[in-house]
Amino acid sequence: MKIAALQMVSTANVNHNLATARRLAGEAAALGARLVALPEYFCLMGHKEHDKLRHAEALGEGPIQKTLADIAKENEVWVVGGTLPLRCNDASKVLNACCVYAPDGTLATRYDKLHLFRFDNGKESYDEGAVLQAGQSAVTLDIQIDGQPLRIGFSICYDLRFPELYRAMMSPPCDLICVPAAFTHTTGQAHWELLLRARAVENQCHVIAPAQAGLHENGRRTWGHSMVIDPWGDVLAMLAEGEGVVLAEVSPSRTADVRQQLPALNHRRF
């Protein structure tokens, strides 16, 4: 089955970003993708962190969620909706939520980012906890694409640095891990591919990682390098910078072969 990571350079204009997401998803579907995944903050890269509060939606309502549902239904594809700001019980914060839609446009599941990024190297600083409320639990989803079962585990950006989250999603093992992200250029250059390939190898599954990729109008620079990785750690497809579609073939038989040849998941002790 073909899957696609959609790479974006999102702006502070939500309508513009939604139109870009719709266009890229249509291109991916035309190429045969049955699942498309958007990057973190695909709908908004604001000038200030608190811009997320202004555009936050209630679950099941609002133009961002409607667009994601429409993309899924129009293209008859599974949509991993990057992240969007969802209202929570704290009016001063939002959830950074990944909403997943089935090909009929219905909401299949939702994952709220667990680990909140904080970084300060003296030149650039970020503190997601100032605006975001952390999620509570790991999320997996069992689906079928063209009659083939696919178990998917969800994570977001900074989650990538916490392997225990991925282990929590591996009973039973996932076939695909999704990592929508907006890695900074600094941290991405150092660790992005390294961590993605490690998660694929240690969990012996495919990884799809759609990312923000370039210089944004708010001055932030994201690393990009959206990619799809196989269970042996091989990069199947990648795009360094700029918007585009990263398309790859995911083979369940490849996963089975790797796990049979090297049954590491069966050798776990913890």
Strand partners, 79: 36, 101
- For residue 152 the two structure tokens come to 């998917």
Tell me the C-alpha distance between 26 and 32, whole Å. Answer: 10
- Domain with 25, as residue range(s), is 2-267
Taking the model in full, what pTM does it have? 0.98
Q: Which of 113, 128, 174, 243 is catalytic?
A: 113
Concatenated DSSP letters of 39-69:
PTTTT---SSTTHHHHT-B-TT-SHHHHHHH
Tell me the C-alpha distance between 240 and 224, whole Å. Answer: 6
Q: pLDDT tens digits for 51-60?
A: 999 999 999 9
Tell me the C-alpha distance between 227 and 81, whole Å. Answer: 16
User: Is residue 116 exposed (0-12), middle (13-18) or buried (19+ Cβ within 10 Å)?
Assistant: buried
Q: Which of 40, 57, 128, 241 is catalytic?
A: 40
Q: pLDDT tens digits for 91-112?
A: 999 999 999 999 999 999 999 9
40 is catalytic: yes
Q: What is the band of 143 on the pLDDT scale with cuts at 50, 70, 90? A: very high
Q: Which of 43, 157, 178, 205 is catalytic?
A: 157
3-state SS, residue 255: helix
pLDDT of residue 229: 98
Q: pLDDT tens digits for 184-201?
A: 999 999 999 999 999 999
Q: Give the count of domains, the chain.
A: 1
- For residue 138 the two structure tokens come to 């790991």
**Total residues belonging to the chain:** 270
Q: What is the 3-state secondary structure (H, E, C) of 181-250?
A: ECCEHHHHHHHHHHHHHHHHHHHCCEEEECEEEEECCCCCEEECCEEEECCCCCEEEEECCCCEEEEEEC
pLDDT of residue 195: 98
> In CATH, what number is assigned to the domain containing residue 64?
3.60.110.10
Q: What is the band of 123 on the pLDDT scale with cuts at 50, 70, 90? A: very high
